[in-house]
């Protein structure tokens, strides 16, 4: 395989908000252009464990509306009944939230000190299933609690998305949930698992100039194309980019159209 080869440009504003450390209550002002403000916590450096947001002015708030939530819940319930869920090895919490009223997705940067193939990568909160987990939703919520210190109830979960294989051929189940306003949450990232936390607004992700693609070849022959979102504090690619793409299709039908070809997907 060969990649990644990004089809669109790079470059984006960084918006460091909160330094790492102990128990952090996040306050995120809206980004409206101009010089990017940098905020630390009581003089601490924002270099490590930082929380970053990419926001665009004129946000479209309807993506988290009650009506859109009900529509998404119904679609996910219908999809779950149609598709046989593969035996899942792991789950991730696809974390919708709002920052200064702007709908966004929350991502983590996995610690580079972790073992395994996914260290140092952008991800949604999540991890392997445990025998003590009641179901796949419990796995996603438990892993989010362990990584970010967030105690979430099942009422925030909109539904279960189609399971997807990762690069090791193990199936990961995305669980879509709405965390609510990020300003009202207290994040306590586990430094052993999480190096940084950042958000990308839905309006940012929907802009074509912030979308890209990666062509993969095998034995010199084109094999498939995968999405990548290159603009932001960290590039979103791989399985996380696929889940992001599926989430955008669900949240914003007609606003986002898949431009990639991934084997095994319809």
**Domains (ranges, CATH) in the chain?**
16-251 (3.90.79.10)
Can you give the pLDDT at residue 82? 64
Can you give the pLDDT at residue 148? 95
The pTM of this model reads 0.77
Residues 38 and 26: their CA atoms lie apart, in Å, by 13
Spacing of C-alpha 58 from chain mean position:
21
Is-contact 140 89, C-beta < 8 A? no
- Per-10-residue mean pLDDT, the chain, length 266: 34 31 33 29 37 50 91 91 70 95 93 66 91 93 95 96 85 95 92 91 93 85 86 90 95 81 52
Residues 98 and 27: their CA atoms lie apart, in Å, by 12
Is-contact 145 152, C-beta < 8 A? yes
To which residue do tokens 């046989």 refer? 84
| b/e map 210-242, b = 16+ CB within 10 Å | bbbbbbbeeeeeeebbbbbbbbbbbbbbbbbbb
Spacing of C-alpha 209 from chain mean position:
19
């Amino acid at each position: 395989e060969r990649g990644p080869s990004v089809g669109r440009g790079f470059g984006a504003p960084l918006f460091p908000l909160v330094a790492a450390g102990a128990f952090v209550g996040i306050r995120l002002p809206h980004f409206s252009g101009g010089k990017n403000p940098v905020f630390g916590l009581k003089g601490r450096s924002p270099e490590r464990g930082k929380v970053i947001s990419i926001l665009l002015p004129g946000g479209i708030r309807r993506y988290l509306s009650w009506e859109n939530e009900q529509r998404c819940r119904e679609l996910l319930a219908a999809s779950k009944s149609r598709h046989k869920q593969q035996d899942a090895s792991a789950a991730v919490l696809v974390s919708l939230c709002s920052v200064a009223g702007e709908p966004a997705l929350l991502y983590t940067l996995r610690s580079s000190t972790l073992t395994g193939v996914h260290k140092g990568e952008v991800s949604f909160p999540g991890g392997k299933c445990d025998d003590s987990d009641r179901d796949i939703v419990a796995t996603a919520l438990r892993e989010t609690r362990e990584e970010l210190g967030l105690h979430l109830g099942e009422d925030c979960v909109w539904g279960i998305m189609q399971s997807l294989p990762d690069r090791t051929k193990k199936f990961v189940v995305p669980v879509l949930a709405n965390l609510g306003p990020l300003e009202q949450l207290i994040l306590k990232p586990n430094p052993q698992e999480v190096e940084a936390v950042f958000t990308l607004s839905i309006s940012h992700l929907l802009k074509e100039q912030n979308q890209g693609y990666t062509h993969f070849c095998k034995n010199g022959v084109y094999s498939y194309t995968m999405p990548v979102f290159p603009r932001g504090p960290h590039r979103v690619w791989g399985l996380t980019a696929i889940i992001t793409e599926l989430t955008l299709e669900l949240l914003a039908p007609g606003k986002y159209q898949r431009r990639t070809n991934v084997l095994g997907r319809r």
